Structure formats: C-alpha cells, structure tokens
Structure 1
C-alpha cells in the first residue's frame, strides 16, 4: 500500500484508481510481453495504463507488487459449482459412482437453497484463488426455483460468471422448451458483462438426435452450447457427428473433456471453430479418457482449463496448470519411449498453460475483447501473486514457470474484478465468510439427514455400486450403444 496514510486500506466498494507498483507483469498480450518492475493502473472498471513508473491520479490506491507477479484474472470454463458444499466428499469415487450419486440418486434431493449454498461457496472460493471468471456448469437446475437460487448466489459475489443452464434429471429437448425455462431466461439472463449465459447439455449419440430441439432453442435464444464430449462410456463420436450433420457445431461451442474422440471428430471441432475445456485433474482421476491437450495440440484446437467439481478436486487453476503440464509431458515421453525415442525438448511450455488459464478461457467464452490479458481498455480483472512470508516465492526467475509450478492459492495477495478489490493482503474483502459457512453447514446437514448416517458414510467409502446403469448415465433416455459395454 502507499505510504500516504490518507490513502487508507481499500474496501470492496472503493472506486478510487488503483495501481500495482513494481511487479513482474505478465500481460498475456499477443506477444506474451513480460515487464519487470512495472505498474498496472486501474481507473474505474478498466485498465488505464501498463508500464514502468506510471504517473497516477491524486488519491490513487497503491499496491506494492515488488517481488510478485501481476497477471490477468484466471478463467474457469467448466465448474459444477452447485456441488461445492460437498467439497472432497467424493475423493475416492470413480466417474460411475459420481453418476450414481448425482444423476441417479442423491442429486435429486438438492433443494434450491442447496444450489445457492454450493454456488455461493464456489464463487467465493474462485475469487480467493484468483479465478475472476467462472462458468457455472449448472446441471442441477431441476426447477426454475433452483435456477433462481443459482443466479442469486452468483449475483451476491463480486466475480464475473457465466450461468450454463442444465438439468440432468430431464431430457434437454424437454427442459429447453418448457415455459418455466423460457420465463427464467426472460427474467434473469440479460447478458451483462458480469453474468453471461450458456446452455449445458450432452449428446448421447442416439441416431434420432432428440437433442436437436435443445440446439434449436439455444440458437433461438442466441446462447452458445457447452457439452461434455468424448467421455468414455457416456458421449462419443456419434454425438459429434450428429451435431455436425445437423449444423449445430458452431464457433463458440465448448466441448468439455473431449478425451476419447476419433480424428474425424477432432477435425470437425477444429473446422467449425469450437474449443475444448480440459479438466486434467478430473480426466486423470475418474476416467473420461487421458487428458486431451497432447492430442488437441496436433489439431490446433483452442484450449481452456477447468476444475470440474470440488466434490473431488481443488478449486484453483494453479492445480489445473500444473496437472496439465504434467499429463501432457508424460504422454509425450511415453509416446516417444514406445518408439524407442527420447524427448529432448518439451513441446508444451509453461507460458502456454498460463495462456490457457487466462486468455484461453476468454477466447472460449467470446470475452477476449473484455478480459484475459492486461491491456489498456480491457476490464480490470487483475491478480497479484505475492507472498513475502513464503520461501517458495523467491527467487523469481521464470515467471511463467513460477505461476504454473510454484505458486498456489495461498500466494494470491490481491484480486481485482471489474476494477473492484475483492481480495487484499491474502484476505477476502467485503465477503461474509461466516454467513457462507452457515449456509453450507445447513446443506450438509440436510443431505446427511436425508440420506441417513449409514448411507452418508458409505458414500465417502464406496464399493461397487448396487445401482445398475447402462453405458451412459442419462436416465431420461433409453438409448444405449455398444461403445463400451452393455448391461
């Protein structure tokens, strides 16, 4: 902070200009410019200047970035925020057990207030970790009341969000044409810079292509589609082919995971301007397929990063960057070893995964003109990674490598979203964390009492599930294929 006592400690609604002083600045512009001992000036909700020794308006709040990294806010393009109240519960789950728990059984017991609690905690957690934009892949919206609760939570937190509306308990061709869904969109989805809108549903590969109606609804509403694609046992090449043959593979479509597709499907995604949201911790742990960045790079398909769900994994993109580099490089080494070769130079570099975690997300969401880089005129979503109490924060030699391999959420010193300080000196600003905790505790109590203690404990220590499922978990359709197995 400035030594001038008149500047005071910033608060969440402080509309004075802010300047980050003397940091290592990762602009993430087209040239990936790195500036040392540089400043970033925020005026209003936008970036006013980037450079060394900036002159600033009288009364500007000064944030000392010496020894730290100033970077764009990170962007998560696929997070099931409603599940966050169950943080870590499914640490030992497989994907099948996740489907059984949320899709077939207990996910149906979530009330609107439980959706609200999960979203609220997830939104706050994201800001704390320097994730300034999150896609709420909200497929637990069983009613319009659930949807209203989801948006209420997002609007209560000073972050930037995209609601990806979905309902795993009903066919997308049904909910997308229901009067309550249309009424909700008309009432709540006004496409502001702080709250965007997508439609979230999957394509099973049923040759009748019943999902066509949902795509038509998305087109009518001007909404982009985000879909789980290339997930072993659930979605496959048939879904991609049907989307393409019916003209629904559009620029802006986000394919989540895309880990088990054929070359033909990857070519279709590349040719139609789609992008892939990779959740490496998820794909590595629960079996959608091997994390796809190694393959996506060969097709020049744009990549963004995501965390999927905190019911298993961490909710920060430092983990996403680290695990993605590790998985991609492991694949590269194994492919070379199979041919008797040795990898002497890594193809995937740290600066590229930092780009995926920032500008890649902005590109995927059609928000690149707003966020994703520190450039004059863009919205001021800025993160300072600095921790003077940590021996892991020095020496700062390779800033991209430091972000990807050394830093963690506890090193996030300051977060600004749309010009507003939401975290400073490692503490959230203007957020009532005890109130969030109280809501989450009520949701946990509801779930435990509804399931009963025996079932609750069993869910955290699962064996082979008794529920029978086919080779896809979508109970709103009888369609199955021979892609993996038959029951």
Structure 2
C-alpha cells in the first residue's frame, strides 16, 4: 500500500443513512474510511490514527447520483429558463452556440458543471454529451471530469448541429475505452448512441453502456430491438415519456435502465399523467433521476427530488379524481431518495461500488448539516434529505476517499480563475454566433413598458 491507500478518515457521531438493506441505519454512529473504501460502520468505533470529522448535527449518507446531465451546457446556465419547444432549444444550444465550441469551451463547461455537482452533494454523474464534435472535444470533456474529481460515466454522442461531422464515430470508441475504461479510474466512457444499431454493436464489443434519449412522440423501437441480446442492462433509456405499453414490456423483459428528468420533462411538456417514472415502477424497473439541463436549471439534484415527489403525487391523484381504479399509491420520500442514489448507481453499472454505504464499497460519501434554522429538528432523516435541505447544507463531499468539499467549501478548486475563464468562454461563443440573450427577459420589458 502507498501512503494514499493508508489514509484513514473517521466520520464521528452522525446520523447514518446507509440506503443499504444489509447495513442498518444509525441514529448516532461512526463511519471509517480507509484509502478509497468504507472500512466500518457502527456505534462508537474504536479507531486510532485517523483524521476525525465531527459529524454531530449531520446526516452521513451515500453521495447523490445525477443519472442524466448534458454537462457541456455549463456556460449556458439559465439561458432559456422558459423554453418549452425542443426544436427552439436545439436551434439555440446546437446550431447557434454549440457549432462554435472549441475543445476549451467543452473543458470549461464540463468542469464548471462537475464542480457545481460536487458542491451540491452529487458524487457520480452520467454525462450525456450530445456534442462530441471531434476526438479533441471528447478528450477535453474527459480531462475536465478527471480534473474535477467527480465520478462520471461520459457518454460520447454525435453533435446535434448540421455542421458537425460524425466521421470519428463510432471508431474513436476503442481508443477511449483503452484509455479510460479500467477498474481503478473515476471516469469511464460509454456511447450516446440513440437508436443506431451499428454503433451499438461497436459499443457492445467494447463492453460499453449505451444511452438513448427516448421520447414516445419522436421515436419508436422496431422489431429488430426485440431480438435476443439487443437490449439489456447495458442500455440506459432517458425520458421514456408517452411510450406505448408494448415498449414498456420490452424494456422490462430486457431489464434496461430508465432515467427520468422531472423538471425538464415538465419544462418541455414531454410527460403526461401516465408519468414515465410510474410506468417504469409499474413494470418492475428501477428509475433513476437526472438534472438534464443547465440552460433552464442547474447542478442540483435536490430540485429533481422535490419535483419527482410533487409530480408523481399530482399525476396519480389526477388519475384517481377522474375515476380510474387501481391507481398507484402516492410516492414516498424513501422511493425518491432511492431514485437519487441506488437506482442511479444501477444505471451506471456501479451498484456494487456506490449508491449506498456498506463496508467494502467505494467511499463516495456526503455529510449534510441538519443544525440550521431551516432544518432543525430532524424528525425523519429521509424526509429531511428529500424535502428539507439544499446545497448550502452539504458540508462535506468525499469521492473515492478523496475530500472534494469540506466545511461547505470546495477543496482545491480555483473558482476565481474558473469564473473568469467561463465568462470569457461564454463571451466568445456569443460573439462568434451573434446570439444575444436578453438579460431581463420579455416579462421584465413588459413590466417596464
């Protein structure tokens, strides 16, 4: 063992929420980290020679998992907060701005998003990159993820604008797999392949996971997808809104992974009262949740948990009020937190390593303070996480045994320089594209008229 592997950190005296069926929760307990793994969980652990983190007044829990995020959109934060037309969105982010992205812009956007995720307690993210314009752009995004210290599955996908070339895909996947898909790295690579079976075959030969954004109004799976071995746990389908029951049965039989984006699915009007999350649950699947867009929201999974809880209850109650029988029960905070932790781990293929707290698992841990005036007293630990806290309550974030946030501050991040670089990147893209957003929006102009 090297010096790094010998490091020991003890989280002392916190409420421990394991999200693991084999490891009990503790009202007050300790958690020991050795190297990059959890070594022990229990009350009053007797440990010497360890750095001690005082966890009193805090909940210790697994890091949150953002199961779908277009991280390359970081410099476009809240650029289109009211957009409800998918093709207007694509025109702006892809045709107008994305077409001018340099590898530098890809690096800065991805790093900004990754650090913001860490700040909000997200330790693992599926980076859905539908802007892999060249091998150099992909390398820049991967370098940004590695530099940030987040755990990530970067999904390489064709850029959406008409000027982009896909000549390097899927051929570049082997180089990427050789460079990144090894057991000891935090960052891995998969394919954002939509429904291109030729690309899927290349990815499967490289043992890659495959991501498809799937809207029932815009895409259908043909009979070729029902052939044995085409679909399976290596597939991740996102959105899954308004798709027919026969497709749900196909997904369930194949055991695919499903992710939903509560806020953006509502923003664009993708979903209806059938509710994709509930459809997945009803078919025995385990849906995860993701943030999707910085163009309207930001890097905060707490907002997705709030939206999932409210939307499921609204949709199911609407179905009940209009007279349906056997309507699913209202969602619970436990199910919501599962979607943000263990279900996300399953989608990434890392359920044996992250998503819950247990000895032997990777030390992807967050410590959330619960002694603030808006949170105290804690009467239900899960309800507190799902409904009561926010990013400012996330005190400590650890990924693979490395502390990335401590005392409410990101560790090792030069935010002054990053802010200047990101602002310069945004200004460059606006200048090259000629696109000029309205700082105050149409509603503000109307009020002042």
Same fold (TM over 0.5): yes
Of residues 184, 191, 210, the one that matches 1:199 is 191
Correspondences of 1:14-413 after superposition (within 5 Å): 16-30=7-21, 33-58=24-49, 60-94=50-84, 95-169=86-160, 175=167, 177=169, 179-190=171-182, 192-203=184-195, 211-232=196-217, 234-235=218-219, 238-239=220-221, 241-245=223-227, 247-290=229-272, 291-339=275-323, 346-388=329-371, 390-413=372-395
After TM superposition, give the deviation of residue 245 of structure 1 in Å.
Answer: 4.0
For residues 184 and 268 of structure 1, the distance between their equivalents in structure 2, rounded to whole angstroms, comes to 31
Please give the per-residue CA displacement for 1:233-281, whole angstroms capped at 9, x wherever unaligned: x32xx23644234742121211001011011011111110111111101
Listed as ranges, the gaps of 5+ residues in structure 1 are 1-12, 204-210, 464-487
The worse-fitting range, judged by mean Cα deviation, of 32-41 and 45-54 is 32-41
Do the aligned partners of 1:129 and 1:316 also contact (CA within 8 Å) in 2?
yes
Which moved further from structure 2: 406-415 or 62-71? 62-71
Structure 1 residues 273 and 193, CA, compared in 2 at 3 Å: closer, same or farther?
Answer: farther
Equivalent positions of 1:402-441 (< 5 A) are 402-441=384-423
Q: Supply the distance in 1 between the matched residues of 2:247 and 2:442 (Cα, whole angstroms).
A: 35
Q: Is the 8 A contact 2:66 2:301 kept in 1?
A: yes
Residues 51 and 105 (structure 1), Cα distance of their counterparts in 2 relative to 1, 3 Å cut: same
- In 2, the alpha carbon distance for the partners of 1:196 and 1:440 equals 25
Q: Distance in 1 between matches of 2:223 and 2:94?
A: 25
Distance in 1, matches of 2:103 and 2:72, equals 10
**1:463-485 Cα shifts (integer Å, max 9, x gaps):** 9xxxxxxxxxxxxxxxxxxxxxx
SS of residue matched to 1:434: helix
SS at match of 1:239: coil
Q: C-alpha displacement at 1:440, in angstroms?
A: 0.6
Aligned length: 436
Deviation, 1:438, is 2.1
Q: Distance in 1 between matches of 2:90 and 2:184?
A: 33
What TM-score, normalized to structure 2? 0.91
Secondary structure, counterpart of 1:287 in structure 2: coil
The offset of 1:18, in angstroms, is: 1.2
Q: Which residue is 2:446 aligned to?
A: none
Q: What is residue 450 of structure 1 aligned with on the other side? A: 432
How far apart, CA to CA, are the structure 1 residues paired with 2:329 and 2:14? 28
**Worse overlay, 97-106 or 220-229:** 97-106
| Residue of structure 2 equivalent to 1:483 | none
Q: Distance in 2 between matches of 1:301 and 1:69?
A: 28
How many angstroms does 1:448 deviate by? 1.7
Q: Contact (CA 8 Å) 1:113, 1:149: kept in 2 or not?
A: yes
- Do the aligned residues in 2 keep the contact of 1:160 with 1:195 (CA within 8 Å)? yes
Distance 1:86 1:213 in 2: 32
Residue 193 (structure 1) shift: 3.8
Per-residue CA deviation, residues 270-308 of structure 1 (Å, 9 max, x unaligned), is 110111111101101112223411222211111111000
Partner-residue secondary structure (3-state), 1:250? coil
Structure 1 CA distance for aligned equivalents of residues 239 and 305 of structure 2 = 15
Report if the CA contact (8 A) 2:30-2:42 is conserved.
yes
Query: 2: CA distance between counterparts of 1:412 and 1:110?
Result: 33
The TM-score with structure 1 as length reference comes to: 0.84
RMSD, aligned CA: 2.6
Look up the SS of the partner of 2:211 in the other structure.
strand
Is the CA contact 1:167–1:175 (under 8 Å) kept in the aligned structure 2?
no
Deviations along 1:137-189, one digit per CA (max 9) or x if unpaired, are 11111111101111111111111111111113489995575555544444455
CA contact 1:173–1:212 (8 Å) conserved in 2: no
Unaligned runs of 5+ in 2: 444-449
* CA displacement at 1:106 relative to structure 2: 2.6
Whether contact under 8 Å (2:5, 2:36) holds in the other structure is: no
In structure 1, how many angstroms separate the alpha carbons of the residues matched to 2:324 and 2:198? 50
